[in-house]
């Protein structure tokens, strides 16, 4: 018993020192690892849309760790979010050389080149298109289940003129591959193709099929946009109302009000929806509140209620004094 007590005495005598040393050691190791690997922090910054901060941190890190694929990818993402396509291309190209069998690296590399092609003259873009196709096709071959790549190929082949490789049949081929991977994506892709080809009945059919098997807000949005493009506002409103019953999103109140204001119909419904949107507004709703005031002013203009129309257009301008559409609308209201 005495020996045990003696050991216990020693244990308690030394325990605080051991605990301090172990905690200090753990703190130092954690700090070193955190300093060396800022990946999580940069991912969080990108999620928070602090792209320049993310770029600054990762640029320094990549210069010291040129073979860290995750760091290079994050740096490329930071550049891409800022539409700095040249630097994004540089980083993604590095990734394809570090791991030539990684489909996602080829997808991002092709995507950055594709976005650059959209930002320059058509003549200069012609020199990039074949590289874009090469990277997307390679990504699709490397990963038979890579959905984003197949979407990119659907859109690419539809948007390109035939003389430089555009092809509806090739686009449909990848839409069929999408359908085998995901019914919703396949139907949405086919809806996109037929909408692009100005075949609205076929587009409507496939968007409705996507709604039937999926029912996401994206599915509803595609069908709504089709109806608006085809100047079928009653169908658009009915579709948005169906989306609201399923998803209960405040942003959908704005969408109904917008269609009512644009097409001068169901004005009471539009007025109620826009006021509901304003009352329940949060930044997560997406459309700034001044746009809801602008749409309300349009509705009151349609109702020939000049005083209310001016009241709401002024609210929009109070929030954003250089709101071009609102300034033009105010001139129109004053003519009533």
pLDDT in tens, 105-136: 999 999 999 999 888 888 888 889 999 999 99
230 in Cβ contact with 218 (< 8 Å): no
pLDDT, mean of residues 313-326? 97
Structure confidence by residue, pLDDT tens digits, 179-205: 999 999 999 999 999 999 999 999 999
Considering the chain, what is the average pLDDT of its residues?
89
| pLDDT score at 7 | 35
pLDDT at 139 over 80: yes
Question: Position of tokens 């320059």?
Answer: 120
| Among 33-37, 208-212, 235-239, the least confident range | 33-37
Q: What own/partner pairs with CB < 8 Å and gap ≥ 24 does 315-324 have?
A: 315/290, 316/290, 316/291, 317/290, 319/288, 319/289, 319/290, 319/293, 320/288, 320/290, 323/290, 323/294
Q: How large is the greatest C-alpha to C-alpha distance in the chain, in angstroms?
A: 103
- Nearest one of 48, 105, 103, 101 to 72, comparing CA atoms: 105
Provide CATH code, domain 174-248: 1.25.40.10
Q: What percent of the chain has pLDDT over 70?
A: 89
146 in Cβ contact with 126 (< 8 Å): no
Say yes or no: do domains 174-248 and 249-336 share a fold.
yes
pLDDT, mean of residues 3-26? 40
SS3 130: helix
Q: Could you tell me the residue ranges of all domains in the chain?
A: 42-143, 174-248, 249-336
Burial 161-200 (b: 16+ CB within 10 A, else e): eeeeeeeeebbbebbebbbeebebbbbbbbbbbbbeeeeb
- Cβ contacts of residue 275 below 8 Å, gap of 6+? 296
- Nearest one of 154, 239, 143, 233 to 188, comparing CA atoms: 154
CB atoms within 10 A of CB 297: 28
239 in Cβ contact with 251 (< 8 Å): no
Quick check: pTM over 0.85?
Answer: no
Structure confidence by residue, pLDDT tens digits, 43-101: 998 999 999 999 999 999 989 999 999 999 999 999 999 999 999 999 999 999 999 99
| pLDDT score at 163 | 63
As a residue count, the chain comes to 336
pLDDT, mean of residues 298-309? 97
pLDDT band with cut points at 50, 70 and 90 for residue 15: very low
Candidates 1.10.150.20, 1.25.40.10, 3.30.420.40, 3.10.20.600; CATH matching 249-336? 1.25.40.10
**CB-based burial label for 89 (10 Å; 0-12, 13-18, 19+):** buried
Task: Give the span between the Cα atoms of 272 and 281, in whole angstroms.
Answer: 14
Class of domain 42-143: mainly alpha
């Amino acid at each position: 018993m005495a020996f045990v007590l003696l050991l216990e005495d020693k244990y308690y005598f030394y325990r605080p020192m051991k605990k301090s040393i172990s905690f200090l050691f753990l703190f130092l190791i954690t700090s070193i690892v955190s300093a060396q690997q800022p990946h999580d922090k940069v991912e969080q910054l990108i999620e928070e849309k602090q792209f320049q901060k993310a770029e600054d941190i990762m640029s320094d890190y990549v210069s010291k760790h040129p073979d860290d694929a995750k760091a290079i990818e994050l740096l490329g993402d930071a550049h891409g979010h800022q539409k700095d396509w040249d630097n994004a291309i540089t980083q993604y190209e590095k990734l394809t050389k570090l791991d030539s069998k990684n489909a996602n690296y080829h997808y991002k590399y092709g995507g950055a080149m594709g976005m650059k092609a959209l930002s320059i003259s058509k003549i200069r873009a012609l020199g990039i298109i074949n590289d874009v196709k090469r990277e997307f096709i390679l990504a699709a071959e490397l990963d038979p289940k890579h959905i984003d790549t197949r979407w990119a190929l659907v859109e690419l082949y539809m948007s390109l003129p035939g003389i430089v490789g555009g092809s509806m049949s090739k686009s449909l081929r990848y839409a069929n591959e999408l359908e085998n991977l995901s019914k919703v994506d396949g139907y949405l892709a086919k809806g996109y193709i037929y909408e692009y080809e100005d075949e609205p009945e076929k587009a409507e059919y496939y968007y409705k099929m996507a709604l039937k098997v999926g029912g996401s807000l994206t599915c509803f949005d595609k069908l709504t946009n089709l109806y608006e493009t085809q100047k079928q506002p009653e169908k658009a409103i009915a579709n948005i109302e169906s989306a609201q019953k399923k998803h209960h999103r405040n942003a959908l109140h704005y969408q109904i009000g917008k269609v009512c204001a644009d097409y001068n119909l169901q004005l009471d419904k539009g007025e109620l929806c826009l006021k509901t949107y304003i009352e329940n507004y949060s930044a997560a709703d997406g459309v700034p509140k001044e746009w809801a005031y602008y749409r309300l002013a349009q509705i009151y203009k349609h109702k020939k209620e000049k005083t209310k129309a001016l009241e709401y257009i002024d609210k929009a301008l109070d929030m954003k004094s250089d709101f071009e559409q609102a300034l033009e609308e105010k001139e129109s209201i004053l003519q009533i």
